[in-house]
A and B are shown apart, each in its own frame.
Chain A
Amino acid sequence: MSLKAFHLIFVTLLTALTFGCAAWAFATGNAFWGAAGIVAGILVIFYGVYFLKKLKRISYL
């Protein structure tokens, strides 16, 4: 597995973490940080798509 593939796993887990943190913030009554977590999660998804396009020629192996 190349660094590209490992980075994809990292970005996926980071997305899960940001949405998880958003859920935690909403559950503890902090709507601002919950919204911030959702925005961060969306940004991470956009970054993931961008990085995949940018490194299209590099192998996953």
Chain B
Amino acid sequence: MDIPYTIKNRPDTGLYNAKLGVWLFLASEVMLFGGLFSAYILLRVGAPTGTWPHGWLDVRLGTVNTLLLALSAITTLLAWASCKVREFGKFKFFHACTILLALTFLGIKSYEYHDKLVHYEIQLNNGKIADGHLVEKSADFNLAKKTGSVTLHGHEVETHAELMDLRSEEAKKAVHAELIIPASEIKHMENYGPRHNTFTAIYFTLTGLHALHILGGTLVIFYFWGPGRKMWQTEPERFTNRIEVSGLFWHFVDLVWIFLFPVLYLT
């Protein structure tokens, strides 16, 4: 049995079925990300003064990732336009570019996650806080037994509030050095993972969900670039429509990032 309206538009909707389907799917995605953005806004405006972090994310990396996704939107469009004018070689080239750009984006995102997961805030017994990136843990390090030590590349502060605004002049003046901290002096030790505070929780949730969409989109695009391209030989118009549908999804994911970048990195 043939699937109807894969090439021609349905008379009642004016669209071929896959396009209608992807738009319905994107409507549900708008609700998903819309809910999470609403959560972000409510958490942010509800945070007590001085407790919401600023400057915790690397704007340079975020900018590079924005550039990568913007370029990938262009290559996706060009891949579809190449199919429209029956230039399959160009289609393959532009889709390969999209895949490479997407993988680079995910690589940078992974680096950012790693950077957060090796970044520790250690509350010391003397009331001070040591904050920095983990260099190493001694072989016998055991926080429960209070044995061994950790080495951080960072600095010590008197209060938690000093760590909130890394764009402040005081934060910029902070001198970072190697700190060797014995386990016996550690009261509490926690990395900047999702459970560190409200900001890291919503940051990992929003960007993690977005990264999963990038990964899913990349797999689909890879399929059309690789094994799925056989359809071009038999049904080029249907294949072109598939490229358009995947391009619509990809543009949606890029649009989400256009909102995520300023909200998370610049504010």
Quick check: A24 and B81 within 8 Å, CB to CB?
Answer: no
Complex Cα spacing A21 to B14, Å:
39
CA distance A14 to B66 in the complex (A): 9
A2–B15 alpha-carbon span in the complex (Å): 9
Flag if A24 contacts B262 (CB, 8 Å).
yes
A44-B67 Cα distance, complex, nearest whole Å = 11
Give the secondary structure class of B's interface: helix
Q: Is the CB of A14 within 8 A of B70?
A: yes
With contacts A2-B244, A14-B258, A21-B266 taken as known, whether A7 is within 8 angstroms of B77 at the C-beta atoms is yes
Measured CB to CB, the nearest residue on chain B to A7 is B77
Question: CB distance B262 to A21 under 8 Å?
Answer: yes
B156: shortest Cβ distance to chain A, in Å? Answer: 27
Min Cβ gap A33→B in Å is 9
B81:A10 contact, CB within 8 angstroms: no
Interface of chain B residues 92 through 111 with chain A (CB within 8 A): none
B80: interface (CB < 8 Å): yes
Task: Indicate if the CB atoms of A3 and B266 lie closer than 8 Å.
Answer: no
Contact status of A1 and B23, CB under 8 A, knowing A10-B254, A17-B262, A28-B167: yes
A60 in contact (CB, < 8 A): no
On chain A, the number of residues with a Cβ less than 8 Å from chain B's Cβ atoms is 22
Chain B residue nearest to A16 in the complex (CB): B258
Interface residues of A in 1-37 (CB under 8 A from B): 1-4, 6-7, 9-10, 13-14, 17, 20-21, 24, 28
Flag if A3 contacts B258 (CB, 8 Å). no
Minimum CB–CB distance from A37 to chain B (whole Å) comes to 9
By a CB distance below 8 angstroms, the chain A residues around B261 are 17
B266, A51: Cβ atoms closer than 8 Å: no
Could you tell me if A3 and B262 are in contact, using CB atoms closer than 8 angstroms? no
CB-CB under 8 A from A42, the residues of chain B are: none
Separation of A6 and B247 alpha carbons in the complex (Å): 9
B134 at the interface (CB under 8 A from A): no
Q: B251 near A13 (CB under 8 angstroms)?
A: no
Shortest A28–chain B CB gap in Å is 7
**For residue A24, which residues in chain B have a CB less than 8 angstroms away from its CB?**
262, 266
- Report B's interface with A, CB cutoff 8 A: 14-15, 23, 63, 66, 70, 73-74, 76-77, 80-81, 84, 167, 244, 247-248, 251-252, 254-255, 258, 261-262, 266
What would be 11 A-B contacts, judged by CB atoms less than 8 Å apart?
A: A3-B251, A4-B77, A6-B247, A9-B255, A10-B73, A14-B70, A17-B258, A21-B63, A21-B266, A47-B74, A58-B81
Extra A-B contacts (18), CB below 8 Å, given A3-B247, A6-B247, A54-B81: A1-B23, A2-B244, A3-B244, A4-B77, A6-B248, A6-B251, A7-B251, A10-B255, A13-B255, A13-B258, A14-B258, A17-B66, A17-B262, A20-B262, A44-B70, A51-B77, A61-B14, A61-B15
